Amino acid sequence: MTIAKSAVSSAGDGGTEHWMIRNPVLPGFHPDPSIVRVGSDYYIATSTFEWYPGVRVHHSTDLVHWQPLGGVLTERRLLDLTGTADSCGIWAPNLTYAHGLFHLVYTDVATFAGGYWDPQNYLVTAPSMAGPWSDPVVLHGRGFDSSLFHDEDGTTWMLSMRADWRPGRNRFGGIEIQRYDCAERRLTGPAHLIFEGTGAGLTEAPNVYRQDGWYYLVTAEGGTSWTHQVTVARSRHLLGDYEVDGGGPLLTSAGRPELPLQKAGHGSLVQTPAGEWYLAHLVARPYSAQGRCVLGREAALQRVEWAAGAWPRIRDGVPAERVPAPTGVVVTAGPPSSEQLEDDDFDAPELGPNWSTLRRPATPDWIDLSARPSHLRIHGGQSPMARHRPSLVARRVTARQCTFEVTCEFEPRNARQLAGITAYYNSRNWYYLHVTADDDCTPVLDVLCCDSGRVTTAPGLRTVLDGVPRIGLRVRLDGPALTFAYTTNPGEMAVWYDVGRTFDATTLSDEYAATIVPGEPEAWGFTGAFVGLWVQDLGAEGGYADFDRAAYRAD
């Protein structure tokens, strides 16, 4: 596996240099960032929804370079996503550090239909990001976007939005807080409603920070789409009353469709060792003005000016693509991040940090990296519509222009066995270039398309592969255009053949997956596009495929 560091930029002025942060710092599906600093190390945890490992984490020492560490919730002991619906599962994790331990709070959401969420909150702790992580503490299920606040007096408090399922009521009922007893590992005492939000509505994602004798409450409002924003309120007392910043949102891109970074909101603050402040928050990059966002919701950083006793401020209150790095940061420029450029020959004993698996962890019963040296063997799973045992290993699409290429060996015995590559959004929207068998057992190459739950075969693309034991498969995203290609002689001298049709990549977007029900909050898709390796054995007959190489290139 080839792992590379992030590229960075610098800006000079009068012979001096200052390194710049390029946004988004975590491109592709990395929403709801929760940032924490421990010593000189920064960590960002992001939502993963129906994908394992749950809660993806990145590490940096300068806020410029970010290295993927993979996910925290790697096993069913920590997270069970069996049967999880699209865009449900892990919402908005919160990562903090106190008493010598990392504290990770996360919500497992069962649904968001009809005004219900069925959110169950959990807490796990570990002495380091490498673990071991404790068994989950079961917290309340009254709302999602939970967080912990560790006060100066040694107490710990849990915050979350308060969900109200009742028709005709405000489904986002405000922000509540309850004390958490770290020794007893349980919530204790009454829950207090401390903030009901502003006129922007949809108040969620609370974080509390203590600064200069004030408690600052940072929330997300306006929904997670175009009117998203970061709202700040403060109080002299933790339990309120909280006064809203009269200067308006700390950050938003609402009403500014010309900005390249849209949907700015859902933020968390971090202070550098030198006392400078930054806000980690989500953004999205539509392919046209308020158009579809194939890359999903991404993570960005903004510089925050925060004078003693004053309100925190971001320049112009809008997200910038380039932000000054912390003063004194010394950075060595390097090649692109492994999330932008990686060749994986599957030589490692386990999947690398850029791979995710759908709804079930990467366990030996279906993922095998030892049966053949330098090969990933994937045992076939259920159909694309099933939510229990899919066999999909995928990685995030991180750029508008990118290519994903694999080498595959597969001997299908019948039409119930399929293997290949996919461009995937959710169970209702995907494309699948695959090898399968015809009725006479002849292997063939074909393309399946799923548009809003309707599965079709792309006409005229079926290709006979008789006598081809090894095949190269490629998917290319070029803005809204998606194309597939294949080669029967993979390697340095490969000759690639285009399958002959261009598909619409924008169907793999949050906006296209949205479900709008009158009278209910808009239920957007939340995940962003993936490319990956997919194997299906619909008859449970022992089918598997071997993948020798997988290469991802972002232009």
Q: In angstroms, rounded to a whole number, what is the distance separating the alpha carbons of residues 237 and 194?
A: 10
Question: What is the pLDDT, as a whole number, of residue 14?
Answer: 36
* 520: confidence class by pLDDT, cuts 50, 70, 90: low
User: What pLDDT shows up at residue 492?
Assistant: 82
Kindly state the average pLDDT of the residues 481-491.
Answer: 95
C-beta of residue 112 within 8 angstroms of C-beta of residue 199: no
Bridge partners of residue 105, in order along the sequence = 94, 123
Please write the tens of the pLDDT for every residue from 181-193: 999 999 999 999 9
Co-location of 46 and 73 in the same domain: yes
pLDDT band at 466 (very low <50, low <70, confident <90, very high): confident
Provide the Cα torsion 404, 410, 414, 416; round to 10°: -40
The answer to whether residue 16 scores a pLDDT higher than 50 is no
302 & 369 share domain: no
Is residue 47 exposed (0-12), middle (13-18) or buried (19+ Cβ within 10 Å)? buried
Give the CA dihedral 407, 411, 417, 420, nearest 10 degrees: 10
* pLDDT, tens digit, 9 for 90 and up, residues 300-320: 999 999 999 999 999 999 999
- The sign of the CA dihedral 306, 309, 310, 312 is positive
Least confident of 105-109, 110-114, 421-425: 110-114
Residues 125 and 193 in one domain: yes
Q: Region 451-480: what's the mean pLDDT?
A: 95
Predicted confidence at residue 3, as pLDDT, reads: 39
Same domain, 309 and 348: no
Please state, as a whole number, how many other Cβ atoms lie within 10 Å of the Cβ of residue 415.
14
Residue 317 belongs to a domain with what CATH number? 2.115.10.20
Residue found under tokens 């005229």: 460
Q: What is the CATH number of the domain that holds 384?
A: 2.60.120.200
Q: Is residue 2 part of a domain?
A: no
* Residue 297 covered by a domain: yes
* Closest-CA residue to 297 (of 527, 5, 40): 527
- Give mean pLDDT, residues 361-368: 98
Give yes or no for residue 522 having a pLDDT over 70. no
Contact (CB, 8 A) for 35 and 59: no
**In whole angstroms, what is the distance from residue 291 CA to residue 273 CA?**
39
Query: Are 367 and 346 a contacting pair, CB within 8 Å?
Result: no
In a domain, 156, yes or no: yes
315 and 271 within one domain? yes
> pLDDT per residue over 332-360, tens digit each?
776 789 999 999 999 999 999 999 999 99
pLDDT at 491: 85
- Taking 3-state DSSP, the helix, strand and coil percentages for the chain, each rounded to the nearest 5, stand at 0, 50, 50
Is residue 330 domain-resident?
A: no
Q: What is the pLDDT of residues 394-433, one digit of tens each?
A: 999 999 999 999 999 999 999 999 999 999 999 999 999 9
Q: For the chain, how many structural domains are there in total?
A: 2
Q: Does the pLDDT value for residue 2 go beyond 60?
A: no
Instruction: For residues 32 and 204, give the distance between their C-alpha atoms in angstroms, rounded to a whole number.
Output: 11
pLDDT in tens, 147-161: 999 999 999 999 999
> With contact defined as beta carbons under 8 Å apart, do 174 and 195 qualify?
yes
Query: What is the domain range of residue 64?
Result: 9-324
Taking a C-beta distance cutoff of 8 angstroms, is the pair 404, 492 a contact?
no
Q: What value does the mean pLDDT of the chain take?
A: 94
Spatial CB neighbours of 405, under 8 Å, sequence gap ≥ 6: 472, 473, 474, 475, 549, 550, 551, 553
To the question of pTM greater than 0.85 for the whole model, the response is yes
Q: CA–CA separation, 353 vs 314, rounded Å?
A: 32
* Domain co-membership, 352 together with 230: no
> In terms of domains, do 301 and 403 share one?
no
Give the model's pLDDT for residue 5.
38
**pLDDT tens digits along 208-261:** 999 999 999 999 999 999 999 999 999 999 999 999 999 999 999 999 999 999
Angle at 423 between CA 421 and CA 425, to 5 degrees: 135
Pick from 290, 324, 358: which residue ends a domain? 324
- Please give the average per-residue pLDDT across 463-477, as a whole number: 94
CA nearest 51: which of 509, 538, 530?
Answer: 530
Residues noted as catalytic: 32, 204
Q: Say if residues 104 and 93 touch (Cβ distance below 8 Å).
A: yes
Same domain, 424 and 513: yes
Decide if pLDDT at 500 tops 60.
yes
Q: How far apart are CA 433 and CA 532, in angstroms?
A: 11
Q: Do residues 362 and 453 share a domain?
A: yes
What phi and psi values does residue 66 have, to the nearest 5 degrees?
-130, 130
Domain boundary pick from 324, 356, 375: 324
Same domain as 351, residue 221: no
SS3 for 264? strand
Q: Which of 324, 356, 373 is the last residue of a domain?
A: 324
Q: Has residue 4 been placed in a domain?
A: no
Using 50, 70 and 90 to split pLDDT, how confident is the model at 18?
A: low
Do 448 and 512 sit in the same domain of this protein? yes
Q: Per mean pLDDT, which range of 6-20, 39-53, 132-146, 531-545 is the poorest?
A: 6-20
> Do 32 and 138 sit in the same domain of this protein?
yes
